Structure 1
Amino acid sequence: MTEHLSLFAILRQSADVRTVDAIERLVRDAPDSALNRINVLAFAAREGLDEERTIAAFLHAARLGIFEMSWNVLCPGCGGVLDAGASLKTIQQPSYSCALCGAGYEPTLDEMVEVTFTVTPRIRKIAGHDPDTMSMWDYDRQFFWGSGVDMPENFDEIVEEIVLDAMELPAGERASLSLQLPAEFVIVFEPITHSAQFIDVKGEPTKERQNLSVVFNDAHPQHQTVELRPGPLRLTLDNRTTRRVLPAVWIAGTALHDMLGRRRPFLTANRLLSNQTFRDLYRTDTLDIDQRLKITSLTFLFTDLKGSTQLYERVGDLAAYDLVKEHFRVLHDIVGAEAGAVVKTIGDAVMATFPTPDRAVAAALRMREEMQKLNETRGREDLLLKIGIHEGPCLAVMLNDRQDYFGQTVNIASRVQNLAMSHAIFATGAVVEDPVTSELMERRGLHPTQRRTALRGMQDEFSVYEIP
């Protein structure tokens, strides 16, 4: 308990105190299930906390050893966890298959990879630390389905309705179930080996007993769909693994689809990579050098100081250095406050990322305002900031020992910034036409001016907008 208290005291020095208080209450009072694979966004909503401060607090807590992070590859169809690891480096497969949905997917960081937090055993021992001892339905809820699936309170009642039978089968053992098949599509699903057998039950009912065998092994098999008739079935289950398995026979009807269709926001890997606290705490421990992970949508903001060479000549190296350093501090603070992250600085330029276009535009407007304030304080136009913004797909990569981004979206954002004059914010249609961004600019009375122009390295003209 003494270590517990000291760690939270340390956490209060680096994270929002109100958020830390809520986390400490969670660790102290919540049931075991609430401390396994915590959905940070759901926790923030339930406690009435700011999302960014909550994410930052959990990251600092994980760094202190209060929580362990889990990076989980989710099935877009059913929300099931297809793979899980302690870091993003564990996501190495070019595609992942979901046996329950019978489909394969190429992983994307903003749609398929969630980041959750589990309390460490040194702080509090919970059932989730030993999943092989958990009941079948607790295992399904806490380990197979991701934190983005909002499981209903009456989960047990729904299971009674849509599961024909289920059992725990120890390693190396074999058993049989006697079932009465309804005229429905049925799935024999096992969540530990991620194995499934589809049964299309149709035709005239029969009174004769039908037989079917399903083998569970470590190959994660997706068995061929078999056709059976409504009526009695002897289902033989053979566990050829070194762990217990938890097969259940599900009716794949409306009730199952409705249950799995209950979704809630979750902390994506993409959002975490664009979080300043994460980048500050986990600078190099993110990706392997040969990893190339897809992101379907990320917003890039580039800034540069106009006339910085003349600034050094005008005010001298020491004064100019201090001024440019202050400009970097202001930009860094604004990026972090708008849920973004500074990827790198290049000379007097900044490259930053944001999870959504509106956050980038809000940051750009604040940057322009703060530079104007700094200039007013000095009584001269020393800091003239040019800004360019673009949104689109990219790759998350490791370059020069740091997590970086690669792709045409990055190139376009940089070249759009090169078009900007002093005090100008230039953005592409993908940014300006975003509904939330449009609403933001409408509230501020801003009306972007469109122009067609050529971007270096691109054959066709490109539409860009100047935000006044």
Structure 2
Amino acid sequence: MSDAETLFSVLRQSADGDVVSAIEALVRDAPDHALARVNTLDFAHRRGLGEEQVIAAFLHAARLGLFEMSWNVLCPSCGGVLDANATLKSVRSAAYHCAFCAISSEPTLDDLVEVTFMVNPRLRRIAAHEPDTLSSFEYLRQIFFSSGVDLPDDADARFQDITFDAVELPPGDKAILSLHVPEGSLILFDPVTHATQFMTVTGEPVRERQGLTVIFNDVLAGAENVTLQPGPLRLSFENRSSKRVLPLLLKADERLHQLLDPRRPALTAKRLLTNQTFRDVYGTDTLDIEQRLKITSLTFLFTDLKESTSLYERVGDLAAYDLVRAHFQVLNGIVAAESGAVVKTIGDAVMATFPTPERAVAAAIRMREAMQRLGAERQRQDLTLKIGIHEGPCLAVVLNDRQDYFGQTVNIASRVQGLAESRSIFASGTVVDNPSTTALLKASGLVPTPQRRSVQGLSGELAVYEIP
């Protein structure tokens, strides 16, 4: 049995068999570019597989060395990868600049940091393992653009149509292009160094040759705009960087936008951090102690067993411990099934996160029903779970050697849970007012009751709903 066969056999022990077979087929049959940045959500969609099962399989595959995981910081406009990292620890909290779009943005984990998987060269060697061998278009497709940029099948031909000219320039080399530039907007862009030069061609046509020199360095400088007139242009390049550069002179018209605007869902850092398999496999080595990375929207769910102290008194420590442990197992399974992750347990309480509010509400409803069944099985009809849910911005941090979250949203979620007194679920207005949550509650036949309650640490009253 080959090493690859052995590793896939091991992978089958921890991942869904159908997903593993699909990954094997991908490695065996797919073209090189399909293995450079695997978009797990698109992979699942195209093959009719469950997203959570696919994510879990690729995580285990990366742990086994079949794939290499990459955390890519993205430009919110063009979808270009501004920085690719082997670990989230390398992602800075400061703003990243995209010279191609002339904008800067902070790397929020919701949508500006994606996670992709590249096949390990030991399993199959692809062109992206040697990016210096890639053509301009393939470099754009496999290295520069994120997995969420939905390039059409004829993208190569369409890029050629909007490319005025292109050059390949090794380190230390120079080149000169003699062009006749028409009226309009042009962008000179190198996808390797991200160096960019904007050109506005306007005014009366000229016969005299105009000159423009562009120097490529390892340090990215701010993009500039130069105004030219229609007519002949002498464009000089000098590569002072340590890499091969691939400058492209692009026609910045509607065709460029039509090519780059389509997007498809991709696996975000936020979703991965709220994935139970990821926390189980990688959770202890995700962030550095000093990192503070922003998440603009994360949903927190807190649970607590009602009157657990008296439960210990009534049934004794051993029986109560067994019951609490069984309740943890039930809750953990439900959280994972709803695309969430348990962050920590505190006594007999649980703190969990979900990528979207409706997932947390769906989990809460299932938890309540499961606790009723567990209570009936154990003849403990007084086994009641108090649940609170809140959504909002937070920081992903490391606390007590564990990947955790910090901020007012976390505090409020804990306080909302404290409002629950019986089997009712309490959720804040931001959770219940979410359209997907509204649809879920309607389908479940549940009508939430609005309230305004005082919450410790928050000035004024908080809009909350009691879900019966």
- The interval holding the TM-score normalised by the smaller chain is over 0.9
> Equivalent residue for 2:337?
337
Q: Aligned equivalents of 1:156 and 1:321: distance in 2? A: 62
How many pairs align?
468
Instruction: Compute the displacement of 1:452 (Å).
Output: 0.6
Q: Structure 1-normalised TM-score?
A: 0.99
- Corresponding letter in the other structure for 2:280: D
Q: Deviations over 1:385-416 (max 9, x none)?
A: 00000111110001111100001111110000
Please tell me whether residue 105 in structure 1 is matched to residue 105 in structure 2. Answer: yes
Q: Aligned equivalents of 1:224 and 1:48: distance in 2? A: 46
> Equivalent residue for 1:53?
53
> Equivalent residue for 1:166?
166
Instruction: Compute the displacement of 1:202 (Å).
Output: 1.1
Aligned residue for 1:414, secondary structure, equals helix
Seq. identity, %: 64
Q: Aligned equivalents of 2:368 and 2:156: distance in 1? A: 55
Q: Aligned equivalents of 1:222 and 1:175: distance in 2? A: 22
- Corresponding letter in the other structure for 1:414: S
Aligned residue for 1:284, secondary structure, equals helix
Please tell me whether residue 453 in structure 1 is matched to residue 456 in structure 2. Answer: no
> Equivalent residue for 1:288?
288
- Corresponding letter in the other structure for 1:311: L
User: Quick check: 1:35–1:119 contact (8 Å CA) kept in 2?
Assistant: yes
- Corresponding letter in the other structure for 2:66: I
User: Quick check: 1:73–1:84 contact (8 Å CA) kept in 2?
Assistant: yes
> Equivalent residue for 2:257?
257
User: Quick check: 1:311–1:320 contact (8 Å CA) kept in 2?
Assistant: yes
User: Quick check: 2:293–2:397 contact (8 Å CA) kept in 1?
Assistant: yes
User: Quick check: 1:427–1:467 contact (8 Å CA) kept in 2?
Assistant: yes
Q: Deviations over 1:185-222 (max 9, x none)?
A: 11110111111011111111222211100110011112
Q: Aligned equivalents of 2:393 and 2:253: distance in 1? A: 35
> Equivalent residue for 1:66?
66
How is 1:314-333 mapped onto 2 (pairs within 5 angstroms)? 314-333=314-333
How is 1:148-227 mapped onto 2 (pairs within 5 angstroms)? 148-227=148-227
Please tell me whether residue 312 in structure 1 is matched to residue 312 in structure 2. Answer: yes
Q: Aligned equivalents of 2:167 and 2:17: distance in 1? A: 46
Instruction: Compute the displacement of 1:27 (Å).
Output: 0.7
Q: Deviations over 1:347-382 (max 9, x none)?
A: 111000000001000000000000000111123324
Instruction: Compute the displacement of 1:230 (Å).
Output: 1.3
- Corresponding letter in the other structure for 2:323: L
202-211 or 442-451: which moved more? Answer: 202-211
Aligned residue for 2:393, secondary structure, equals strand
Instruction: Compute the displacement of 1:252 (Å).
Output: 1.1
> Equivalent residue for 2:75?
75
Q: Aligned equivalents of 1:213 and 1:93: distance in 2? A: 34
Aligned residue for 1:152, secondary structure, equals coil
> Equivalent residue for 1:431?
431
- Corresponding letter in the other structure for 1:438: T
Aligned residue for 2:405, secondary structure, equals strand
> Equivalent residue for 2:443?
443
- Corresponding letter in the other structure for 2:33: S
Q: Aligned equivalents of 2:87 and 2:223: distance in 1? A: 31
Aligned residue for 1:283, secondary structure, equals helix
Q: Aligned equivalents of 1:398 and 1:303: distance in 2? A: 22
178-187 or 282-291: which moved more? Answer: 178-187
Instruction: Compute the displacement of 1:344 (Å).
Output: 0.3
> Equivalent residue for 1:406?
406
Q: Aligned equivalents of 2:222 and 2:262: distance in 1? A: 25
User: Quick check: 2:218–2:242 contact (8 Å CA) kept in 1?
Assistant: no
User: Quick check: 1:178–1:233 contact (8 Å CA) kept in 2?
Assistant: yes
> Equivalent residue for 1:385?
385
Instruction: Compute the displacement of 1:223 (Å).
Output: 3.2
- Corresponding letter in the other structure for 1:80: G
Gaps of 5+ in 1: none
Q: Aligned equivalents of 2:70 and 2:439: distance in 1? A: 35
- Corresponding letter in the other structure for 2:288: D
User: Quick check: 1:275–1:341 contact (8 Å CA) kept in 2?
Assistant: yes
> Equivalent residue for 1:243?
243
Please tell me whether residue 279 in structure 1 is matched to residue 282 in structure 2. Answer: no
Aligned residue for 2:111, secondary structure, equals coil
Instruction: Compute the displacement of 1:232 (Å).
Output: 1.3
Aligned residue for 2:463, secondary structure, equals strand
Q: Aligned equivalents of 2:151 and 2:178: distance in 1? A: 29
User: Quick check: 2:70–2:117 contact (8 Å CA) kept in 1?
Assistant: yes
Aligned residue for 2:158, secondary structure, equals helix
Instruction: Compute the displacement of 1:93 (Å).
Output: 4.7
> Equivalent residue for 2:419?
419
- Corresponding letter in the other structure for 1:170: P
> Equivalent residue for 1:7?
7
> Equivalent residue for 2:467?
467
* CA RMSD across the alignment: 0.9
Q: Aligned equivalents of 1:64 and 1:447: distance in 2? A: 47
User: Quick check: 1:303–1:417 contact (8 Å CA) kept in 2?
Assistant: yes
Q: Aligned equivalents of 1:124 and 1:102: distance in 2? A: 37
> Equivalent residue for 2:375?
375
Instruction: Compute the displacement of 1:181 (Å).
Output: 1.3
176-185 or 415-424: which moved more? Answer: 176-185
Instruction: Compute the displacement of 1:422 (Å).
Output: 2.1
Instruction: Compute the displacement of 1:182 (Å).
Output: 1.9
Moved over 4 A (4+): none
Instruction: Compute the displacement of 1:56 (Å).
Output: 0.4
User: Quick check: 1:164–1:179 contact (8 Å CA) kept in 2?
Assistant: no
User: Quick check: 1:169–1:246 contact (8 Å CA) kept in 2?
Assistant: yes
Aligned residue for 2:237, secondary structure, equals strand
Q: Structure 2-normalised TM-score?
A: 0.99
Gaps of 5+ in 2: none
Instruction: Compute the displacement of 1:179 (Å).
Output: 1.6
User: Quick check: 1:194–1:221 contact (8 Å CA) kept in 2?
Assistant: no
The 1:93–1:363 alpha-carbon spacing in structure 2 relative to 1, beyond 3 Å, is closer
Aligned residue for 2:296, secondary structure, equals strand
User: Quick check: 2:196–2:224 contact (8 Å CA) kept in 1?
Assistant: no
Q: Aligned equivalents of 2:230 and 2:41: distance in 1? A: 44
User: Quick check: 1:389–1:431 contact (8 Å CA) kept in 2?
Assistant: yes
The 1:346–1:128 alpha-carbon spacing in structure 2 relative to 1, beyond 3 Å, is same
> Equivalent residue for 2:39?
39
Q: Aligned equivalents of 1:23 and 1:379: distance in 2? A: 46
158-167 or 72-81: which moved more? Answer: 158-167
User: Quick check: 2:80–2:146 contact (8 Å CA) kept in 1?
Assistant: yes
Instruction: Compute the displacement of 1:285 (Å).
Output: 1.2
Q: Aligned equivalents of 1:327 and 1:31: distance in 2? A: 47
Q: Aligned equivalents of 1:17 and 1:37: distance in 2? A: 22
